[in-house]
Chains A and B, each alone.
Chain A
Amino acid sequence: MTMHETDSPDADAPEPTADSDRTAEASAADSEGTALAREMTAEQGGETVELAALTKRYDSTVAVDSVSLDVAEGEFLVLLGPSGCGKTTTLRMVAGLESVTDGSVIIGGTDVSRTTPQNRDVAMVFQNYALYPHKTVRGNIRFPLRKTDLSDAERTRRIESTVELLDIDDLLDKEPAALSGGQRQRVAIARAIAREPSVLLMDEPLSNLDAKLRVRTRSELRDLQQRLGITTVYVTHDQEEAMSVADRIAIMNDGRIEQVGAPEEVYRDPNSTFIADFLGDPSMNIVSVAGENTAGATADGLVAGLAAASPDRAAQVGIRPEDLYLVDETGGFVEDAAPEAASSVYECPLTVLEPIGRAYELTLEAGAAQMVARARTVPDELRDSDSVRIAFDRDAVYAFDRNGGRLR
């Protein structure tokens, strides 16, 4: 039985669901974003990145297991997964910082698997920024430019346009130690993009920022990447961050890619219980229903109802918290939005009612399982009640087989 996990990896993130915050950010990005747009001179473009059966073995453990992936020119691809899933190792193999055990890394059609980092024309933004502490901001940004065949005047111009783009022109003569976390992060990005690499790699670039700044910066990052059109591979463990910046997300688990797709797609159409559970906060309720169908309506109630709404082969069924609806005494829905294919109404014991900002999380008992529902509003009488009437959207029920694979 899959229990609902109460602590998600990014419990501190202020925006509760992935899709609601996309729109919120779009508006937040506008003010900053248009300013950036005006500074832009030329599109940088980028190269394709192709990973072919890429494998990394350390002695007996396999860190990255035959990962194949195509990243298009100018695409923003996010490698998402829990810590230890091999996403950073994959990124480091693309950068050339980690040797390739098997398979290959192909950038712009050239196999670079056996070349050194300096020959790959990729740039990277590190988690801790890795600025040169003994150089000023200007020196940091100039350092990679010295390896290009630009003239001195061009280098200076490139530095100027980059710092304007990132709005750090007033920091040029400071040393990294004198900068705030957010400023360091910008300098790290400036250093990475100034020489216009064909691929930009980012390894958890926002994880050292505080929650608010993180949300603001990620929309700026997305905006910047769009304008530069630079092929970007971005590693994070934060699903919300991934959802908000990515063109496509590749979700990794245990060294393998579980699913690749647009944010909406992987959220709406997960391939497995792992992805269903990993994406969304609170994550999908997944309960085991093995036996429920055949034994008839022994365990009536919500779980049986979910089982009935899915194919007979299903061993596990899932439903997202937002697809569970509160029903009032009269049988009407508490909220205006009602599902098209509403199920019948079930009465479930209510164990926890927790306000989370603009919404509520309700923890219910459904047979032996626990489920979480999300509601925008909660009727007053429910606050003292120890049970709740609930219906679900029959179209939003996910079915999985015994191994966690999705049944369609």
Chain B
Amino acid sequence: MSWLTIIAGAARESASGVRLLRQQVRRDGRLRRLGFYVSLGLTLLVSLFPFYVMFITSISPDDAIYANDPSLLPEAVTLKQYTVLFSSETFAFTSYFLNSAVVAFITAMFSLVIGVIGAYSFTRLEYPGNTIIRRGVVVVYMLSAITVVVPLFKLISVLGLVDTRLGLLITYTVSTLPLTLYMLWNYFESIPVAIEEAAMLDGYSRVETIFRVIVPLSLPVLVATFLFAFKIAWNEYLFASVFLKSQSKLTLPIGIEQMNANFSNVWGQIMAASFLTTLPIIVMFLYLEKYMVEGLTAGAVEG
């Protein structure tokens, strides 16, 4: 319902367009403004409503959640869902959270280091095959996890890496690499070559130039790249669901899914867990919105 409303509203708005606003008569303009704010409000409502539900449910007591007539406003506020999540023996939430944090952090580090030297290599150094690699990055970027998950699982089992963090780390590093390489490549291309040439004439070798000129110069992009790799690893579900077996190693997505599968009517805890899973990403995103937007538009990420 609300979807239709918003599409209709936005379409009506866009058809008239802001650019005409100025030359309209004032009353018409006021009506348009109203239409604009209504459309904007609806867009926000639709975008954020699920997050609202998530948060409200996570701070509601069970009897409010499972009431016959669900209400959109909390009648009572409680932190019980969160305390259960952290104290209960049945949910290993703390361990899921830590596992995810460790895996995502190390993945992002790996991806960044390999990405920086790799992207520098094919943007700036000439050797046979660098153009093929450049194109390959774009092609590999379009591949999806599902295409390789079966053989990769075989491979991981043969190597004895099933149910290890290492298996997950390698897989995640590689799945973030195409994006990392692509984002860094875009940025490195924008740095004038003369700056590197100046450094080399100033007595620095190529490798020193990378780490003492290019890296400090690219700091904002490196942060954005790191966050993107972190986010991909933090959100990943498919590989983790196939590779991980033991409770103590599960990451958040798998952990929460198991909570849902193994217990019924634990919505309060699931929403609390979901909220805690979402929170780091939201904080990161709102705080570094500018870089994240750059990353999204540069690499066009699959979330």
A touches B in complex, CB < 8 A:
yes
Q: Is the CB of A97 within 8 A of B216?
A: no
Chain B residues contacting A134 (CB-CB under 8 Å) are: 216-217, 219
Q: Check if A311 is an interface residue, CB within 8 A of chain B.
A: no
Instruction: Provide the B195-227 mask, 1 if CB < 8 A to any CB of A, else 0.
Output: 101111111110000000100110100000000
Closest residue of B by beta carbon distance from A95: B201
Give the bracket for the number of chain A residues in contact with chain B. Answer: 20 to 34
Q: Are A147 and B197 also in contact (CB < 8 A) when A130-B192, A134-B217 are?
A: no
Closest residue of A by beta carbon distance from B218: A134
CB distance from B217 to the nearest CB of A (A): 5
Q: Check if B4 is an interface residue, CB within 8 A of chain A.
A: no
Q: Check if A144 is an interface residue, CB within 8 A of chain B.
A: yes
Q: Is the CB of B198 within 8 A of A124?
A: yes
Q: Check if A360 is an interface residue, CB within 8 A of chain B.
A: no
Main secondary structure of the interface of A (DSSP, over half): loop
Within 8 A of B (CB), among A23-41: none
Q: Are A130 and B195 also in contact (CB < 8 A) when A116-B205, A118-B205 are?
A: yes
Closest residue of A by beta carbon distance from B197: A97
Partner of A126, one of B194, B204, B205, B217: B194
Chain A residues contacting B203 (CB-CB under 8 Å) are: 118, 144, 147-148, 195
Partner of B200, one of A97, A128, A131: A97
Q: Check if A143 is an interface residue, CB within 8 A of chain B.
A: yes
Q: Is the CB of B217 within 8 A of A130?
A: no
Chain A residues contacting B194 (CB-CB under 8 Å) are: 126-128, 130
Closest residue of A by beta carbon distance from B198: A130
A191 to B219, CA, bound (A): 23
Q: Is the CB of B192 within 8 A of A132?
A: no
CB distance from B126 to the nearest CB of A (A): 10
Give the bracket for the number of chain B residues in contact with chain A. Answer: 10 to 19
Q: Check if A117 is an interface residue, CB within 8 A of chain B.
A: yes
Instruction: Provide the B215-251 mask, 1 if CB < 8 A to any CB of A, else 0.
Output: 0110100000000000000000000000000000000
Q: Is the CB of B213 within 8 A of A117?
A: no
A286 to B192, CA, bound (A): 42
Partner of B201, one of A117, A131, A133, A148: A117
Q: Is the CB of B192 within 8 A of A124?
A: no
Q: Is the CB of B205 within 8 A of A143?
A: no
A126 to B203, CA, bound (A): 16
Q: Is the CB of A118 within 8 A of B204?
A: yes
Q: Is the CB of B192 within 8 A of A128?
A: yes
Chain B residues contacting A117 (CB-CB under 8 Å) are: 197, 200-201
Chain B residues contacting A120 (CB-CB under 8 Å) are: 201
Q: Is the CB of B197 within 8 A of A124?
A: yes
Q: Is the CB of A132 within 8 A of B200?
A: no
Chain A residues contacting B200 (CB-CB under 8 Å) are: 96-97, 116-118
Chain B residues contacting A191 (CB-CB under 8 Å) are: 198, 202
Chain B residues contacting A132 (CB-CB under 8 Å) are: 195, 198-199, 213, 217
CB distance from B168 to the nearest CB of A (A): 35
CB distance from A137 to the nearest CB of B (A): 14
Chain B residues contacting A96 (CB-CB under 8 Å) are: 200-201
Chain B residues contacting A95 (CB-CB under 8 Å) are: 197, 201
Instruction: Provide the A129-152 mask, 1 if CB < 8 A to any CB of B, else 0.
Output: 011111000000001100110000
Closest residue of A by beta carbon distance from B213: A132
Q: Check if A49 is an interface residue, CB within 8 A of chain B.
A: no
A259 to B198, CA, bound (A): 30
Chain B residues contacting A126 (CB-CB under 8 Å) are: 194, 197-198
Instruction: Provide the A142-170 mask, 1 if CB < 8 A to any CB of B, else 0.
Output: 01100110000000000000000000000
Q: Is the CB of A133 within 8 A of B217?
A: yes
CB distance from B200 to the nearest CB of A (A): 4
Q: Is the CB of B201 within 8 A of A122?
A: yes
Partner of B199, one of A122, A133, A143, A148: A143
Can you list 30 contacts pairing A with B, beta carbon distance less than 8 Å?
A95-B197, A95-B201, A96-B200, A96-B201, A97-B200, A116-B205, A117-B197, A117-B200, A117-B201, A118-B201, A118-B202, A118-B204, A118-B205, A122-B201, A123-B201, A123-B202, A124-B198, A128-B194, A130-B197, A132-B198, A132-B213, A132-B217, A134-B217, A134-B219, A143-B199, A144-B201, A144-B202, A147-B203, A191-B198, A195-B202
Q: Top 5 closest A-B pairs, CB basis?
A: A147-B203, A144-B202, A130-B194, A130-B198, A117-B200
Q: Can you add 16 more A-B contacts, CB < 8 Å, to A118-B201, A120-B201, A132-B198?
A: A97-B197, A97-B200, A117-B197, A117-B200, A118-B203, A122-B201, A123-B201, A124-B197, A126-B197, A126-B198, A130-B194, A130-B195, A130-B197, A132-B199, A132-B213, A143-B199
Interface residues of B (CB under 8 A from A): 192, 194-195, 197-205, 213, 216-217, 219
